[in-house]
């Protein structure tokens, strides 16, 4: 018989040749497999949906041989919620079986690999500090040193322009230095330099920490209409000396003025709340339904997320997570 529906009747007759026809019996011949179903995985990896032959049984096979079934509707639509989110590149196979037991071809769906990542979060604490800030101004006027630093630093005299200042123990300082030129030196500003030295108590001598004539320090110097300016930040505790010199011999006998502004922040004690409740990974990237349970740092040490430690530096407190991996529970 061919594919499709076939009706059969039976007739019974007696010896006289009379009889009646039975009701029709219908036989459906179905040897054709249904078409391969279609299907897509939801963005969060938690469900499947698609189209299959109407009223067919849709079988979904997950990694490890776990099978799930559902029935396509009269319009062929089907959907299925997965017990475990598929978000790590797993292969999912989908087939449809009709009422006659004919199985379709297999649809293969590859799950996406969804990222797990954490971002920096900032939590504000109401902290106070006993550190104080202050500003000191220093100036001097005198002869301009001329020549290379190694030569001029050894011939400093009372009439040489120089400024000394001290940053207190445990403190830091931001410094602005203006070296003004006069006379012919106004035309020699390109050879005007600034030197900052720190007194080394172990050596009993001044050591140069900044010389704008060499290396990257030259990029720190700014030329103005009447001199040069140098800005430094984050100087530590110690005794400092500022000098200015010109490498051109044409500047011999010239005078200069030095003006130094020092903005200091003293050492202090931070006080206030040391605990901030809440999830410090509030904006991490994780698929819906994923719970981040641990953080692994660059040294391979794993820490439960509820035990992140606060680190205090200076006037700020922060919780730092570096090169971390996350352990998900799905």
DSSP string, 170-197: T-EEEEEEEEEE-GGGGG-GGGEEEEEE
Could you give the dihedral angle defined by the CA atoms of residues 14, 16, 22 and 26, in that order, rounded to the nearest 10 degrees? 90
Separation of alpha carbons 78 and 72, rounded Å:
5
Separation of alpha carbons 38 and 94, rounded Å:
8
Q: Domain map of the chain by residue range?
A: 1-114, 131-265, 271-329
Q: Could you tell me which residue, 310 or 60, shows the higher pLDDT?
A: 60
Whether residue 58 contacts residue 70, with contact meaning beta carbons closer than 8 Å, is answered with yes
Per-chain mean pLDDT for the chain: 80
pLDDT value for 120: 58
Name the residue with tokens 């997950």: 62
Residues 123-136 have pLDDT tens digits of 677 788 889 999 99
Residues 185-201 have pLDDT tens digits of 777 777 888 999 999 99
Separation of alpha carbons 206 and 196, rounded Å:
10
Half-sphere exposure of 319 (CA within 13 A, CB side): 24
Residues 283-306 have pLDDT tens digits of 566 665 566 667 666 677 777 765
Over residues 23-39, the mean pLDDT reads 84
pLDDT value for 59: 97
Q: Distance between alpha carbon 278 and the CA centroid of its chain, in Å?
A: 20
Q: What DSSP string runs through 72-84?
A: --TTSEEEEE-SS
Over residues 237-251, the mean pLDDT reads 86
Class of domain 1-114: mainly beta
Those residues whose C-beta lies under 8 Å from the C-beta of residue 300, and which sit 6 or more positions away, are none
Query: Over 90: is that where the pLDDT of 238 sits?
Result: yes
CATH 2.60.120 fits 131-265, yes or no: yes
pLDDT value for 308: 43
Over residues 272-289, the mean pLDDT reads 60
Residues 70-97 have pLDDT tens digits of 999 999 999 999 998 998 899 999 999 9
pLDDT value for 184: 65
Whether residue 292 contacts residue 306, with contact meaning beta carbons closer than 8 Å, is answered with no
């Amino acid at each position: 018989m061919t594919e499709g529906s076939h009706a059969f009747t039976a007739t019974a007759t007696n010896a006289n040749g009379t009889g009646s026809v039975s009701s029709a019996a219908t036989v459906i011949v179905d040897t054709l497999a249904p078409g391969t179903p279609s299907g897509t995985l939801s963005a969060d990896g938690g469900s499947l949906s698609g189209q299959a032959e109407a009223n067919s049984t849709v079988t979904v096979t997950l990694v490890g041989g776990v099978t799930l079934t559902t029935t396509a509707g009269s319009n062929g639509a089907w959907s299925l919620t997965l017990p475990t989110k598929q978000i790590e590149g797993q292969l999912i196979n989908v087939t449809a079986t009709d009422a006659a037991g004919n199985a379709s071809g297999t649809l293969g769906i590859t799950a996406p690999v969804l990222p797990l990542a954490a971002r920096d979060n900032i939590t504000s604490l109401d902290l106070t500090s006993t550190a104080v800030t202050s500003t000191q101004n220093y100036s001097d006027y005198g002869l301009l040193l001329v020549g290379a630093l190694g030569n001029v630093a050894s011939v400093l005299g009372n009439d040489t322009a120089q400024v000394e200042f001290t940053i207190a123990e445990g403190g830091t300082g931001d410094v602005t230095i203006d070296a003004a030129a006069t006379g012919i030196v106004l035309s020699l500003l390109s050879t005007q330099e600034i030197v900052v030295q720190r007194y080394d108590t172990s050596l009993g001598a001044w050591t140069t920490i900044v010389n704008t004539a060499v290396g990257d320090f030259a990029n720190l110097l700014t030329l103005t209409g009447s001199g040069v300016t140098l800005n430094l930040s984050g100087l530590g505790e110690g005794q400092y000396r500022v000098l200015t010199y010109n490498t051109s011999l044409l500047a011999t006998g010239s005078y200069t003025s030095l003006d130094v502004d020092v903005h200091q922040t003293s050492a202090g004690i931070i006080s206030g709340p040391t605990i901030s409740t809440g999830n410090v990974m509030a904006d991490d990237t994780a698929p819906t339904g994923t719970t981040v349970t641990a953080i692994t740092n660059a040294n391979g040490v794993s820490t439960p997320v509820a035990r992140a430690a606060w680190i205090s530096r200076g006037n700020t407190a922060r919780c730092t997570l570096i090169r971390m991996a996350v352990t998900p529970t799905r």
